[in-house]
Structure 1
Amino acid sequence: MERNAHDIPWRSMYKLLTGAIVPRPIGWISTVDVEGRPNLAPFSFFNAICSNPPHVLFCPGVRSTDGAPKDTLRNVRATGEFVVNIVTEDLLDAMNLTSTELPPDVDEFAYAGLTPMPSVVVRPPRVAESPIHFECRVVHIYDVGHEPGAGSVVIGEVVHVHVADDLLLDGDKIDIRALKPVGRLAGGEYCLVREIVHVPRPPSRIRPSHT
């Protein structure tokens, strides 16, 4: 296949992107609206940016059903806060339920049988069943188009971190075997961490500066 990207319908391009860029981490994002009503939704266009200062990003798309922005995007625009909850194997079904397009007044925590837990620094609640949470404040929102298939990039600074003690190795490393994270593939497919390959990083060939 060889085609100009602009000649490919956006739905087909979505399938190509999500089928090729795999596995993707899942940002399970909890927010509240201006009235304090909670919202919870998963985003696989999600990742870390840097650690000093710590920042993450996620990308809510324009809803294909009516061309409206997702509730999560409206909430972070209005409140400037969100929480990233990490999805594990035992939370896969609940996470999938929260991907349902629901009216703004429906509480996804209750809909999926999850427990909201107060955060320490921000207003949105955490998912109590998740073992890792990153409380974040929005620093930038970049819109990339406004039609169905378009989306926005939400960048947040991590202001508070929660990690279950039984997941920690040497105080600051995550035990991936204990975490049992879930990765996003395409369509209704996900992947689980069943085999881990260790590849030592090559040594740096850059000579240190003596200035």
Structure 2
Amino acid sequence: MHVVPGLKVLYFGTPVVLVSSRNPDGTANLAPMSSAWWLGQHAMLGLGNSGQTTANLRRERECVLNLPSSAMVDAVDRIALTTGKPEVPAHKAAQGYRYEPDKFALAGLTAQASELVRAPRVAQCPVQLECRVVSTHPFGGATAQATAFEVEVLRAHVEEDLVIPGTSYVDPVGWDPLIMKFCEFFGGGRNMHPSRLAQGWDMPHQLRPAAV
């Protein structure tokens, strides 16, 4: 039997992406997000309009999409409730967000120079996609509070062990991306790590006992 619960959240499960971009002063910003999909050599990114990453992408017109493996969940979670915007929006402050000027350091990750864009890559991420912004689209209805960014992948860097020898294809068995569904972290089909984001968003499953 199906029910019609009037779902408030539609995060059924997408890869976590660490979006690195450049701030106005030239420093690096790093933001975890999971509203991304790819088709051919292009990707669509869904980002809230109040974030520093959105401002950076509008201004710089470039970024790097760094895809962490499930083993990197702790590093991602450390920056889940942080923002690169010095003036933290009220709605984010209410959820527990705080300003963090150096998210690479907080996450324990290393900035690595890119080859075609000015935003840095995340050295520890097995997949790094250097991108330029192609177009932007208001998203979310008449009072859109988000933007859909279409980006073109200019260069893909992939850990050698993940590439099928003699081809230009990633091994789907060897690649275990960090997945977020309904604000929780998953890898290999398992819940990987407690999520600060789920707590900040008051997700009701936080109150339910784990399935045995």
* TM-score for both structures, normalised by structure 2: 0.74
Query: Which protein shows a greater Rg?
Result: 1
Amino acid at match of 2:168: D
How many angstroms apart in 2 are the aligned matches of 1:164 and 1:42? Answer: 20
Aligned match of 1:84: 65
Aligned match of 2:162: 167
Shift of 1:28: 1.6
Tell me how many residue pairs correspond in the alignment: 173
How many angstroms apart in 2 are the aligned matches of 1:97 and 1:47? Answer: 24
How many angstroms apart in 2 are the aligned matches of 1:113 and 1:55? Answer: 29
**Deviation string, structure 1 residues 128-162 (Cα, Å, up to 9, x no partner):** 00111110000111122599983110111111111
Paired residues of 1:27 and 1:47 also in contact (CA < 8 A): no
Does 1:136 find its partner at 2:104?
Answer: no
How many angstroms apart in 2 are the aligned matches of 1:26 and 1:191? Answer: 10
User: For residues 70-149 of structure 1, what are the structure 2 equivalents within 5 Å?
Assistant: 70-104=51-85, 106-145=101-140
Paired residues of 1:33 and 1:78 also in contact (CA < 8 A): no
Q: Are residues 78 and 111 of structure 1, via their aligned partners in 2, closer, same or farther at CA, if it must alter by over 3 Å? A: same
- Structure 2 SS opposite 1:176: coil
How many angstroms apart in 1 are the aligned matches of 2:141 and 2:76? Answer: 26
Structure 2: any 5+ residue segments left out of the alignment?
87-100, 191-212
Q: Are residues 138 and 95 of structure 1, via their aligned partners in 2, closer, same or farther at CA, if it must alter by over 3 Å? A: same
The 4+ residue runs of structure 1 with deviation greater than 6 A are: 146-149
Structure 1: any 5+ residue segments left out of the alignment?
63-68, 196-211
How many angstroms apart in 2 are the aligned matches of 1:135 and 1:33? Answer: 17
Aligned match of 1:55: 42
**In angstroms, what is the RMSD of aligned CA positions?**
2.4
Q: Sequence identity of aligned pairs in percent?
A: 28
How many angstroms apart in 1 are the aligned matches of 2:82 and 2:142? Answer: 18
Q: Are residues 117 and 146 of structure 1, via their aligned partners in 2, closer, same or farther at CA, if it must alter by over 3 Å? A: farther
- Structure 2 SS opposite 1:129: coil
- Structure 2 SS opposite 1:77: helix
**Deviation string, structure 1 residues 28-59 (Cα, Å, up to 9, x no partner):** 211012321111111111110x22xx111111
Amino acid at match of 1:90: A
How many angstroms apart in 2 are the aligned matches of 1:127 and 1:31? Answer: 11
Shift of 1:27: 2.1
Q: Are residues 131 and 110 of structure 1, via their aligned partners in 2, closer, same or farther at CA, if it must alter by over 3 Å? A: same
- Structure 1 SS opposite 2:179: strand
Q: Are residues 140 and 107 of structure 1, via their aligned partners in 2, closer, same or farther at CA, if it must alter by over 3 Å? A: same
Paired residues of 1:114 and 1:127 also in contact (CA < 8 A): yes
